[in-house]
Amino acid sequence: METVDGPLRLMAVHAHPDDESSKGAATMARYVREGVEVLVVTCTGGERGSILNPAMDRPEVLARMPELRREEMARAREILGVDQAWLGFVDSGLPEGDPPPPLPEGCFALQPLEVAAAPLVALVRSFRPHVMTTYDEHGGYPHPDHIRTHEISVEAFEAAADPARYPDAGPAWEVAKLYYDATFTPAKVLALHEALLAEGFESPYGDWITRAQERQEAGAAEGNATPEPATTRVPCAEYFGLRNEALLAHATQIDPNGRWFSVPLELQQRVWPTEDFRLASARVATDLPEDDLFAGLRVGSVA
């Protein structure tokens, strides 16, 4: 693929409203303000999301959950400055219990792959992004909708370029690069944890680090590979405040007194001033590590 002479386009594929604000939001805000066209794709309406903000945990809020999630998404979209599209699937919910209950009939995670991917392929071909971002094969965490989001994103990245596949979805388009969000890498969490303790703050990450170390040790004992590190760190610290505003717009999901806001903004900006991604696939030459999702695509770069 040649370098791009014209507006660059980024598509970020997410499972539920609020995911766009917790994963890569400052990066998107930066790129929008640099003239990049950014489209957030939200696979489900988040109808089965739990109310995670105690101040919103009221029966009348729960009764309006589908409507509220769309209203919250509209506010977050405006704050970040992005465009947004709904794929229209129904939230699968997060099954809990031992054994977990079956997923609800008709939900997103139970859709056949080609059914779930078809509207995303159509969006890729109409929006024509140069870069896509989504979750890794584990979904970032094992929510069935996050895993399905990964699967349809990979399917769309590959299939949108092939005119023989999904022939009713519009003219073929080849996306140059696919990235996985690497929002909370072990290195980042440890750096924030140590910085908080060094400055006399309590850290919310102690238990998280212990569990992560236990999982890593168990995985090593079973011969499983450790998670691959981020390849691309996008400087965007000046947009962390906008990211926080977008998060707070999702009032049913985000507790303003919760972990998201327990690290002072100035400390975050100083200790870890980037949002991080892992390059999963590229059809353009680029040198790793990167500091730009569009590395290799901008005019003047070597491709």
pLDDT digits (tens, 9 = 90+) for 161-203: 999 999 999 999 999 999 999 988 899 999 999 999 999 999 9
Q: Give, as one character, the DSSP assignment of residue 100.
A: P
Whether 180 and 49 map to the same domain: the answer is: yes
Report how far Cα 40 is from the mean position of its chain's Cα atoms: 9
pLDDT digits over 222-275, tens only?
Answer: 655 556 789 999 999 999 999 999 999 999 999 998 888 989 999 999 999 999
Whether 115 and 218 map to the same domain: the answer is: no
Distance CA 221, CA 207 (A): 21
Domain range holding 206? 186-226
Give phi and psi for 233, each to the nearest 5: -120, 110
Whether 125 and 204 map to the same domain: the answer is: no
**What pLDDT, on a 0 to 100 scale, did the predictor assign at position 260?**
83
Residue 196 falls within a domain, yes or no? yes
Cis previous bond, 289, omega within 30 = yes
Looking at the 3D structure of the chain, how many domains does it have?
A: 2
